[in-house]
């Protein structure tokens, strides 16, 4: 069967027509079309190239994620030795019943920086070593920086209950705020939408929405006195005291109550300050007033 071939000039003509380019006089000016075709190819390649100020860091992120995927695909027995230095018999048999580990806490931070751009810069350079899963801008824009199933470096050293490696089991959310200013309505609305999604997707318990100050009271004050913890509790993210408070008993063991909530009481003053930052907010002195005791007595019974 005879094949019908389209000549190179005809190919160029069809390409130009497909691109919506005028073809009048194409034959007369055919000598310029090799350059035209090259220009079109350059434009198409440019259009497919990654753009934006974070194209390079996005590429690095993908490379690191690919490396983790390779680790997950390794199938080999564990190498063990007993107390005598002898190899312990081992084998690998892949089960069909498994899944990926999911986050069980959400830690809320303020950025302590002056702009979203400054924070994104901090989280996209290697030497800082810090990151977060999400950043919420003042206009309500939510920037997702780490996959929810991956470990971000946001919590650092601290303790909550028996948890010391909070990064491995939590989502970190940074809110664009320097620590000395109210949060915007847009930020709070977006945060509630984000927390709702995280809670329903990963079945995160109400008690497990806490602040950086709760986990690391010796080091961190965020999200600070302007953060609306009461409003968060009304939406199911953490707890808050009831409007009507019962008087705390005279023999109330406030240290145990703080510990049962989750606070590390090895430094009691820091634990008290952290509790008051979260649940009192109007006074953060390391001393519990009667009102503070009443609030603590009410709150700890919710945990």
- Among residues 105, 79, 111, the alpha carbon closest in space to that of 214 is found at 105
Q: Which of 14, 174, 234, 250 is catalytic?
A: 174
Active site residue 174: yes
Longest dimension (CA), the chain: 103
First-to-last C-alpha distance (Å) of the chain: 82
β-pairing, 134-136 vs 105-110, is: unpaired
* Overall size of the chain counted in residues: 303
Catalytically annotated residues: 174
């Amino acid at each position: 069967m005879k094949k019908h071939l389209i000549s190179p000039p005809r190919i160029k003509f069809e390409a130009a027509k497909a691109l919506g380019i005028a073809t009048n006089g194409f034959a007369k000016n055919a000598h310029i079309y090799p350059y035209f075709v090259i220009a079109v190819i350059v434009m198409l390649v440019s259009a497919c190239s990654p753009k934006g100020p974070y194209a390079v860091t996005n590429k690095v992120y993908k490379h690191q994620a690919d490396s983790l995927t390779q680790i997950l695909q390794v199938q080999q027995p564990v190498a063990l030795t007993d107390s005598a230095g002898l190899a312990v018999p081992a084998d690998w048999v892949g089960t069909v019943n498994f899944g990926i580990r999911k986050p069980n806490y959400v830690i809320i931070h303020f950025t302590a920086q002056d702009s979203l751009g400054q924070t994104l810069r901090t989280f996209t350079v290697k030497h800082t070593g810090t990151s977060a899963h999400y950043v919420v801008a003042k206009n309500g824009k939510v920037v997702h920086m780490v996959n929810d199933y991956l470990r971000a470096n946001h919590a650092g050293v601290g303790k909550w209950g028996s948890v010391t490696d909070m990064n491995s089991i939590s989502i970190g959310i940074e809110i664009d705020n320097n620590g000395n200013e109210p949060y915007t309505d847009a930020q709070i609305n977006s945060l509630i939408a984000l927390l709702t999604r995280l809670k329903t997707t990963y079945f995160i318990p109400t008690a497990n929405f806490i602040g950086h100050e709760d986990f690391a009271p010796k080091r961190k004050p965020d999200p600070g006195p302007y953060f609306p913890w009461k409003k968060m509790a009304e939406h199911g993210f953490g707890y808050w005291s009831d409007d009507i408070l019962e008087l705390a008993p005279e023999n109330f063991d406030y240290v145990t109550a703080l510990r049962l909530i989750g606070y590390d009481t090895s430094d009691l003053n820091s634990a008290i300050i952290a509790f008051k930052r979260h649940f009192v907010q109007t006074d953060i002195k390391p001393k519990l007033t009667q009102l503070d005791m009443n609030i603590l007595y009410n709150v700890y019974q919710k945990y």
